[in-house]
Amino acid sequence: MEIWKQVLLLTLTPISVTAVVAYLVKVLINQSLNRDLEKFKKELDIKAREYEVEHSIYYQRKAEVLSLLFEKMDRGFRYAEALVQPLQPGGQNLREKKEETFRLFNELNDYFYGKKIFLEKEFADTIQKLIADMRAAIIEFSTDIQGDEYQASQSGGWHNAYQSLRDQVKPVFTKLENDFRFLVEPKQGKL
């Protein structure tokens, strides 16, 4: 019986020590991994917040650009439309009207090309075409009406400019207005 106790003692002691050491190693590894995991979670959370702030600033800036761009487009379009209307109220200085329309158009053109990077390519291409069509209509009108008074010439440029703004530019402008509204409306889950 004594031998069996010694055999059991000699067998179970190393097994017990090994089990205790294995358990302690497991606990230490788990603690180390948990510490590393918590550190990683904190770093990831910081990066996520930085990303959120950067992108919220970008989207805020984009909304400001879109708002000002639409304002310039709307004003330029309204002035161009008023310039080429077939029925004009009397007593207007055509030269001043042309100059103001050109000034507003040039502001729109400069602003658009300076901020185009904030727009998706397809959207920017549509605006670029709208600006080109507006430019063509304004130039056609100005080429046809040379003096300081509204007097139609035989070439029909005034009429063509009016039709171009009404039939080509206005529908695109109306579609862009709806697109602008969609782009600047607050989205759920965004800052």
- Condensed to tens digits (0 to 9), the pLDDT of residues 123-145 reads 899 999 999 999 999 998 888 87
pLDDT band at 187 (very low <50, low <70, confident <90, very high): low
Measured CA to CA, the distance from residue 130 to residue 151 in angstroms comes to 27
pLDDT at residue 152, rounded to an integer: 67
Which residue type occupies 48? A
**pTM for the whole thing?**
0.66
Q: So what's the pLDDT on residue 143?
A: 85
- The tens digit of pLDDT for each residue in 85-138 reads 888 777 778 888 889 999 999 999 999 999 998 888 998 999 999 999 999 999
- Judged against a pLDDT cut of 80, whether residue 188 lies above it is answered with no
| Per-range mean pLDDT, top range of 7-11, 65-69, 147-151, 152-156 | 65-69
What is the residue-wise DSSP string for 154-185? TT-HHHHHHHHIIIIIHHHHHHHHHHHHHHHS
